[in-house]
Amino acid sequence: MFKTLIWATDGSETADRALPFVRSLAAPGAQVYAVHVREIMVGPGAAYPVYADEPDLQERIAGQVAALRAEGLDAQLRVLTAASGNAARQIADVARDVDAELILVGTRGYGRVAGLLLGSTTQGLLHAGVCPVLAVPPLAAAAQDERELETAVTS
């Protein structure tokens, strides 16, 4: 069990796949930092948010953080802004600042070539080497959901 965890989220279903693992790996009363990096595209004369629905994303993530608090975790949301492609660096900085023991992130499961072409926050976090990174692929999240369901039924 971990006392200080980072849940890196962009508000997507992919990122949500890591949330059950946050719950199961956090020690009672653990500090959980949900880190959301608003990426902006920098162009001539201006910077534009990548996501038009950013306020909705932040509200949704804030609700997830409130649910973690209701479950007894010391959870808080950190929203940062970075140029597109620099989310991993921002998340790693937070991990360093709070002395995180583990970073959890959902992955889309891109192959090697697609990962190289698209870039990857997960890959950047692994290279940052701040602390261990648990990358939750789609199938692992489904298996975790099944285990939680079995536990709830048998309890």
Q: Report DSSP state, residue 85.
A: T
Domain tally, the chain: 1
Reported pTM: 0.78
Distance CA 115, CA 108 (A): 10
**Tens-digit pLDDT profile for residues 9-66:** 988 888 898 999 999 999 999 999 999 988 777 666 555 555 556 778 889 999 999 9
Pairing of strands 46-49, 26-43: antiparallel
**Tens-digit pLDDT profile for residues 111-135:** 554 444 344 888 888 888 889 999 8
60-63: long-range contacts at Cβ-Cβ below 8 A with a sequence spacing of 24 or more? 60/11, 61/9, 61/11, 61/34, 61/36
Distance CA 31, CA 52 (A): 30
Provide the pLDDT for residue 42: 65
Of the two residues 91 and 144, the one the predictor is more confident about is 91
Q: What is the CATH number of the domain that holds 104?
A: 3.40.50.620
Q: Which residues pair with 78 in a beta bridge?
A: 35
Closest CA to 80 of 155, 4, 6: 6
Segments forming the whole domain that contains residue 142 = 2-154
**Tens-digit pLDDT profile for residues 59-93:** 999 999 999 999 999 999 999 888 777 889 999 99
